[in-house]
Amino acid sequence: MELVIGRIAKSHGVHGELVVEVRTDEPEDRFVVGAVLTARAPRERRTKPLVVRSVREHSGRLLLTVDGVADRTESDALRGWLLVIDSATLTSPDDPDEFYDHELEGMAVRLGDGTDIGTVKEVLHTGAGELLSVKAPDGREILIPFVSAIVTSVTRADGMVVDPPEGLLDL
């Protein structure tokens, strides 16, 4: 399974630099000179390996230069592509309160009284924070903000307990 570690937001300058929105807690381990990143086209299975030549921080994002991308036209062609890694290469975090997206996907979601809400289908990363896309037993999709005020408990063994505000689970 693939895990997203970044998204190419746009080009920077005229020499092919890529502006990357980081989506990993370990950018210093993932985005290093010499690393081979896998770029995946949005909504497609097409991939392209990118070898990192340089990395620098700029306005809360990373600027990367990669082999084979030498100008603005080539970097613009990668706008929106996701940078992914294979989840099989990862070990679970040592902190019991930290989870990779793939560990949450498929997890059961229930209320504190045990009422089944559904199963986490996907973790959505938005500018406002993370949302859990939960598939309800009746087939509808419920979006639940992944914040401690709502998601009160998460364990690998027991799944997720939520305390939603009034109206969140309504149609």
- The structural architecture, per CATH, of the domain 2-89 is Beta Barrel (2.40)
User: How is residue 82 written in tokens?
Assistant: 């996701």
Determine if the pTM surpasses 0.85. Answer: no
The domain locations on the chain are 2-89, 101-162
Tell me how far apart the alpha carbons of residues 115 and 98 are, in angstroms, rounded to a whole number.
Answer: 25
Which one is the CATH code of 101-162: 3.40.50.720, 2.30.30.240, 3.40.800.10, 3.40.50.300? 2.30.30.240
In sequence order, the 6+-apart residues with CB closer than 8 A to the CB of 105 are: 120, 121, 122, 123
pLDDT digits (tens, 9 = 90+) for 17-47: 999 999 887 888 889 999 999 999 987 888 9
Position 157 pLDDT exceeds 80: yes
**Considering the chain, what is the average pLDDT of its residues?**
89
pLDDT digits (tens, 9 = 90+) for 51-80: 999 999 998 899 999 999 999 999 999 999
The position carrying tokens 């940078």 is 83
Instruction: Give the pLDDT score at 171.
Output: 54
Position 85 pLDDT exceeds 90: no
Q: Are 18 and 65 contacting, i.e. CB atoms less than 8 angstroms apart?
A: yes
Tell me how far apart the alpha carbons of residues 150 and 118 are, in angstroms, rounded to a whole number.
Answer: 15
Q: Are 106 and 122 contacting, i.e. CB atoms less than 8 angstroms apart?
A: no
